[in-house]
Every structure is written in C-alpha cells, then in structure tokens.
Amino acid sequence: MNRFLLFLSWVCIGFPCSAQPGPQTVLGRTDSLRSTILNETRTFYVHVPAGAVGTGAAAKRYPVVYLFDGDAQFAAATSMVQYLSTNYNALCPEMIVVGILHPDRRKDLTPTHVAADPPYWPVGASRTSGGGEAFIAFLERELLPYIDQHYPTQPHKTLIGHSLGGLAVMQIFVHHTRLFNAYVCIDPSVWWDNQIVLKETKRALETRRFAGTSLYLGIANTADGGMKPPQVLTDTTAATLHMRSALTLQRYLEQHQVEAVATPREQHLDVATLLGAAPAQRVALPGQVLPGRQPHVGALHRRIRRAALSIWRQPQVSGRRDARWSFPPELSADKPQFSSAKRSQ
C-alpha cells in the first residue's frame, strides 16, 4: 500500500488528469534554467510551502533542501518534509524542496571517469562518467543563485543524495564543504573508482575540522548470508564491496571523534521507496547494525525523518515544540559535527 500511495503521488505531479476538473493537490512545479557551464537546459522540480502564498507571504523565508534524482525522489521527499513540518509534528521547519533531474546521472554524480568499475559497472556502462566537478560548478554558480533569486529562501541549505547521489554528497562535503550547511548521505556508492572519494574523505578528516556542518550517514544492509558488519569489513569479495565501503566511511568518522550512525536495516532500493516506514523501535545506536538483509533502493526515504531529527534543533517552550527555528553558524558544544538519529522517534 505504501508503494502504491507513493506511486500515485508521483503520477499526480507528473501527469495531471485533465478529466478531473476543479481544485487539485499539487506538490510542486517544474522549473528550468539554461546552464552555460553544462551547455544545456537543466530541469528541476520545486516545492514551496503553502504559507509562501497569501497574507504575510512576502515576509516568509524558508530553508532549502536540494535533492538528487528528483524524478524518483521528489514526490516522496516533499511529502515527508510537509509531514514533518506540520504543527502537530514540527520536527523540522517548513522548507523549500528542489528535486534535481539528471539527463545523465552517471555523468553528474561521479567524480572521475572510469572505463569500467566491476562488479557494478561493466565496460562501456560508464563511458560518460566523471562530470561531477562540472555539475557541482553548475550547482554553486547557477542553480543555487537562481533558487535564491526566484524563491523565498533562507541561507540554510541541506543536500540529500542516495547511492551515486550519496557519492556526490561526499564529494561536495569533502571538496566544497561550505556549499551546504547539512548533508544527508544515504547508502553511498563510495566504492567508485577504487574508493577514491572514500580515501579523500579519510585524508580530509585527518587534516581538517568541519565545524558548523552536519552530516547524516545511513547504510543499508546489502550483504548476503546474514553477514554481520565486522564480517563485512574483513571480507574481500565483490559481493560486499558496496556495504564494506560504506561501513569503512562510518569507521573513518568514528575514528576521528565524530559521530555517525549506520543502521543497515533496509536494502539499497528500499531506502528510496518506503518513505517514513521506520518505526521508533528501529532506531539504532551509533555503531550498532541491526540484523537482516534489506534492500538498497528504499533507504533514502526511511532516513529522511531520522536525518531531520539529527539536523534540526527542536526548541522546547513550556514542554511543547516551538515553531521558531534557528540556524546557528556553529553546532552547539553538545551536538556532534556528524549527527545521528539516536533520539526516540
């Protein structure tokens, strides 16, 4: 049922039914701009909170969530942001959501060009790879300024990416840290090109501090045979390369006295399809991996709520959540640079 409702939401956005006249529920609009950096027109979806229209709208400004793979993720992510920011939830502020489309995601979301990258990429499958830095330049110099110019934004920006999108999140986090305030990295493909971004992350953690920036890391359990994380980390087969690389990223974060969470309960694909399906009892403590092989694709949506809990402060007023949100330049002393969703949900 959850999958059907998410699919139905997507259909309502992409294919409005002319046979049904009258008011319709719309999650967002399609926008585009001509990129001189990429030499092409880039399309993206934009959700603006309902409060941006009507009385007092001119004075309202919103933080922005940028989301890779907008064609697959925008409807579900926007629905979850709306749900989490309602008055009876108030786990995060109302936010603008920008879902970025990728005419060639392997080009946009990879940092280097490789002819092949087994076991996941056979010869010829990655012939256009390696456009990551040009794509990031497009984000920094064209897309983000465009959104700030045409929509009621606040300075606070969050970036969400899954799989190859998670790889791009880590590339930006390491090499363009100040581009975003918060990063949500879900089941990242940091195995790419002999783990090049993984190695760069290790060097960055050894030599730099990331004060004022938060990173949420979620990992799906893609190992066969009921393997536990310690077994995955010591395994050398191609079957565990994806999960092994992500767990190594978590280990690097922990080794440098920062905090991360790996809760590989979902498969890689389920991370992107089961929005908000994680009940409170599924929250894992930092470093704890819950059992069971689960898919990679659904991990994104299960983690959005947890990421919101870890990134956004929840001020209390007389025992009740205050709808006024602050965006401090530095994380508080009791809040780790790399946040995890330890709190009950």
CB 345 within 8 A of CB 306: yes
Q: Is the pLDDT of residue 268 over 90?
A: no
Question: What is the pLDDT at residue 70?
Answer: 95
Kindly state the average pLDDT of the residues 276-282. Answer: 25
Task: Indicate the pLDDT class of residue 302, thresholds 50, 70 and 90.
Answer: low
pTM above 0.85, yes or no: no
Question: What is the pLDDT at residue 258?
Answer: 56
Report which of residues 257 and 63 the model is more confident about.
Answer: 63
Closest CA to 190 of 294, 267, 109: 109
Kindly state the average pLDDT of the residues 309-331. Answer: 42
Task: Say if 182 falls within a structural domain.
Answer: yes
Task: Say if 345 falls within a structural domain.
Answer: no
Task: Say if 328 falls within a structural domain.
Answer: no
Least confident of 108-117, 200-209, 248-257: 248-257
Question: What is the pLDDT at residue 264?
Answer: 45
Task: Say if 200 falls within a structural domain.
Answer: yes
Question: What is the pLDDT at residue 92?
Answer: 82
φ, ψ of residue 232 to 5 degrees: the values are -60, -40
Question: What is the pLDDT at residue 171?
Answer: 97
How many independent structural domains does the chain possess?
1
What percent of the chain is modeled with pLDDT above 70?
66
Residue 89 belongs to domain spanning = 2-15+25-312
Task: Say if 326 falls within a structural domain.
Answer: no
For the stretch 124-158, pLDDT in tens is 777 899 999 999 999 999 999 999 999 999 999 99
CATH code for the domain in which residue 197 is found = 3.40.50.1820
Highest mean pLDDT among 1-5, 38-42, 118-122, 251-255: 38-42
Type of residue found at 80: M
Task: Indicate the pLDDT class of residue 166, thresholds 50, 70 and 90.
Answer: very high
Least confident of 141-145, 196-200, 221-225, 335-339: 335-339
Task: Say if 118 falls within a structural domain.
Answer: yes
Task: Say if 320 falls within a structural domain.
Answer: no
Task: Say if 104 falls within a structural domain.
Answer: yes
